Amino acid sequence: MTHTFKGGVHPNYMKAPEVPISVVTPPAQVVIPMIQHIGAPCKPLVAKGDYVKMGQKIGENPAPVSAPVHASVSGTVVAVEPRPHPLGDMVMSVVIENDFQDTPCEDLAPLTAEELKEPEAILNRMREAGVVGMGGAMFPTAFKVRSGIGKVDKLVINGAECEPYLNGDHLTMLNFPEQLLKGIELVRIASNVDKAYYGIEINKQDAIDLLRSYHPEKYGIEIVPEAVKYPQGGEKMQIKAVTGREVKPGGLPSGVGCNVVSTRTCYATYQACYEGRPVIERIVTVGGSAVDGPHNALTRVGTPLGYLAEQCGGFVKEPKKIVLGGPMMGICATSFDAPTIKGTSGVLYFTGKEDRMVDNPQCIRCGKCITVCPMNLEPVFMYMYYSKGDYENLEKFHVNDCFECGSCSYNCPARMPLTHAFKTAKLMLQAKATKEKAEAAAKAAKEAQK
Ligand code: SF4
Ligand code: SF4
């Protein structure tokens, strides 16, 4: 029996897990941004001229919601300055001239057998190794797991990898099955729960069979096969499919006793605890119509996007758009100089022929956007209120519950720019709330002075 959720779509998956993992030669210079997580940005711990080892901590912030960053190569720091960030803007970064020696930093020793059973030791190691949500959310994992202790009774591991193109999770399952199960066990121990439920879409039946042959029950893990449907990997969809619990509008997974952690995050936890290895590389799927691909490229954090394309055979057509992540929820990068970061699961170089934009699209009231929304929203009405700038109704129609999965836009025959509109609407509402808060504070201060 397979598990799933209501709504969703079936895009052309374009996946290629049969393409083996290739290792990208690290570049002559890596650029390590101080922001590779949700939360407080890191402050650089090194200066121009310093020598750093591979895996050495080079940036941190003591705030609870933050995660340190590490050198992905050994070499000399040649700059500490703002550089283009893959998610936009210029961000303080440490630039390291690679000495191609990969001299390892041994600050993080593997945990002892006793420590591997202690929640606190695992949580501290997750933090020190810079483990963040590597499914793309980049939320610091130690903080996420710690805040769920006592509230969460079901740990859900996300193995859906439902975004088109991406193969990193599937290949991690196939190439490192035992390490992955041990990583999930560590997250389970740190979460203080007896069982982890590993939801995997059945288009990865080879991985399900392989993982089952390693007796996941030994590690306190149950594998839950899921129907193939986008966005099965959305947090709320995973929870519904695996546990039957429903996160209400505006609610959080912990509100229904669940926490969701991605496959690659569990593998990073294994590396951090068993090998003493911080997050300095990951499998990045490289594809799109502008390159001769796809490639499943093991890539060091800090590899410039232009260099990555070159290493994967270069461009066969002129690229017009770089998408980080998958095509449904990915974000456009604006510079080939921007580097890969911990959350970069894929880099797609498109020629532009994939663009579905049309001039002056007109809604034909077919309702197809409503039937596929996994959050039970009504995109057609939300779009109408967005067009009118009607904030009140946008909130009434729960636009803030839209997690920008793109299913409505994908299913819309009129090609209305629905997801883009909701992204903008959420920003508008946020700006309005901030303005109102500031006005109320100013008014209160004025009253107090009277
Ligand atoms: S309204 Fe938001 S959550 Fe619903 S399908 Fe559209 S993008 Fe996805
Ligand atoms: S799917 Fe597109 S055309 Fe149909 S109702 Fe929704 S917005 Fe309108």
Same domain for 250 and 306?
no
Q: Relative to the alpha carbon of 380, which ligand is closest?
A: 2
Sign of the CA dihedral running 48, 105, 284, 201: negative
The answer to whether 191 and 148 have CB atoms below 8 angstroms apart is: yes
Same domain for 34 and 55?
yes
What is the rounded average pLDDT of the residues 289-306?
96
The answer to whether residue 357 is domain-embedded is no
What pLDDT, on a 0 to 100 scale, did the predictor assign at position 88? 86
This prediction has a pTM of 0.94
The number of distinct structural domains making up the chain is: 3
Same domain for 132 and 270?
yes
DSSP characters over 244-291: ---PPTT--GGGGTEEEEEHHHHHHHHIIIII---S-EEEEEEESTTB
The answer to whether residue 47 is domain-embedded is yes
What pLDDT, on a 0 to 100 scale, did the predictor assign at position 137? 85
Element (H, E) at 94: strand 90-98
High-pLDDT (> 90) share of the chain, %: 92
The answer to whether residue 178 is domain-embedded is yes
The answer to whether residue 419 is domain-embedded is yes
What pLDDT, on a 0 to 100 scale, did the predictor assign at position 99? 98
What is the rounded average pLDDT of the residues 53-68?
97
Res. 250 pLDDT band, cuts 50 70 90: confident
Same domain for 265 and 158?
yes
Residues with CB under 6 A from ligand 1: 372-373, 375, 377, 379, 402-408, 418-419, 422
The answer to whether residue 7 is domain-embedded is no
Res. 171 pLDDT band, cuts 50 70 90: very high
Q: Which of 129, 236, 148 is nearest to 193 (CA)?
A: 148
Cα 3 from Cα 374, distance rounded (Å): 14
What pLDDT, on a 0 to 100 scale, did the predictor assign at position 164? 96
High-pLDDT (> 70) share of the chain, %: 100
Res. 371 pLDDT band, cuts 50 70 90: very high
- Residue 4 scores a pLDDT above 90: no
Q: Rounded to the nearest whole angstrom, what is the distance from the C-alpha of residue 140 to the centroid of ligand 1?
A: 25
Same domain for 380 and 421?
yes
Q: What is the pLDDT of residues 314-366, one digit of tens each?
A: 999 999 999 999 999 999 998 999 999 999 999 999 998 777 778 889 999 99
Last residue within a domain, chosen from 235, 251, 275: 275
Cα 97 from Cα 80, distance rounded (Å): 12
Q: Rounded to the nearest whole angstrom, what is the distance from the C-alpha of residue 405 to the centroid of ligand 1?
A: 5
Cα 97 from Cα 99, distance rounded (Å): 6
Same domain for 57 and 170?
no
Contacting residues for 65 by C-beta, under 8 A, at least 6 apart = 38, 39, 40, 139, 140, 143
Which DSSP category does 79 fall into?
E
Cα 298 from Cα 53, distance rounded (Å): 20
Nearest C-alpha to atom 3 of ligand 2 is from which residue? 363
State which ligand 2 atom lies nearest to the alpha carbon of 367.
Answer: 5
Q: Relative to the alpha carbon of 394, which ligand is closest?
A: 1
Same domain for 174 and 26?
no
- To the nearest 10°, the Cα dihedral for 261, 262, 268, 269? 20
420 lines ligand 2 (CB under 6 A): no
Cα 64 from Cα 446, distance rounded (Å): 34
What is the rounded average pLDDT of the residues 414-439?
93
Res. 1 pLDDT band, cuts 50 70 90: confident
For residue 32, the cross-strand partners are 94
Helix, strand, or coil (residue 92): strand
What pLDDT, on a 0 to 100 scale, did the predictor assign at position 352? 83
Among 358, 362, 365, the mutation site with the greatest number of ligand 2 atoms within 8 A of its Cβ is 365
Among 362, 366, 384, the mutation site with the greatest number of ligand 2 atoms within 8 A of its Cβ is 366
Last residue within a domain, chosen from 275, 305, 326: 275
Q: Rounded to the nearest whole angstrom, what is the distance from the C-alpha of residue 417 to the centroid of ligand 1?
A: 11
The answer to whether residue 34 is domain-embedded is yes
Nearest C-alpha to atom 2 of ligand 2 is from which residue? 412
Same domain for 147 and 163?
yes
Last residue within a domain, chosen from 286, 319, 350: 350
Q: What is the pLDDT of residues 66-115, one digit of tens each?
A: 999 999 999 999 999 999 999 888 999 999 999 999 999 999 999 999 99
Q: Crossing angle, helix 177-191 and helix 168-175, to 10 degrees?
A: 100
Q: Rounded to the nearest whole angstrom, what is the distance from the C-alpha of residue 8 to the centroid of ligand 1?
A: 9
- Residue 293 scores a pLDDT above 90: no
- Angle value at C-alpha 184, between 183 and 185, nearest 5 degrees: 90
What pLDDT, on a 0 to 100 scale, did the predictor assign at position 248? 84
The answer to whether residue 356 is domain-embedded is no
What pLDDT, on a 0 to 100 scale, did the predictor assign at position 34? 98
What is the rounded average pLDDT of the residues 404-419?
95
363 lines ligand 2 (CB under 6 A): yes
Among 407, 410, 420, the mutation site with the greatest number of ligand 1 atoms within 8 A of its Cβ is 407
Instruction: For the chain, give the mean pLDDT.
Output: 95
Q: What is the pLDDT of residues 178-236, one digit of tens each?
A: 999 999 999 999 999 999 999 999 999 999 999 999 999 999 999 999 999 999 999 99
364 lines ligand 2 (CB under 6 A): yes
Same domain for 98 and 120?
no
Among 386, 403, 410, 423, the mutation site with the greatest number of ligand 1 atoms within 8 A of its Cβ is 403
What is the rounded average pLDDT of the residues 227-246?
95
The CATH number covering residue 172 comes to 3.40.50.11540
Residue range of the domain that includes 426: 368-437
DSSP characters over 157-220: EEE---SSS--HHHHHHHH-HHHHHHHHHHHHHHHT-S-EEEEEEGGGHHHHHHHHHT-GGGGT
The token duo for 408 is 């409505």
Same domain for 187 and 251?
yes
Look at the block and give the residue holding tokens 């779009």: 383
DSSP characters over 204-233: GHHHHHHHHHT-GGGGTEEEEEE---BTTT
Same domain for 265 and 129?
yes
What pLDDT, on a 0 to 100 scale, did the predictor assign at position 159? 97
Nearest C-alpha to atom 8 of ligand 2 is from which residue? 363
Contacting residues for 244 by C-beta, under 8 A, at least 6 apart = none
Same domain for 239 and 387?
no
The answer to whether residue 164 is domain-embedded is yes
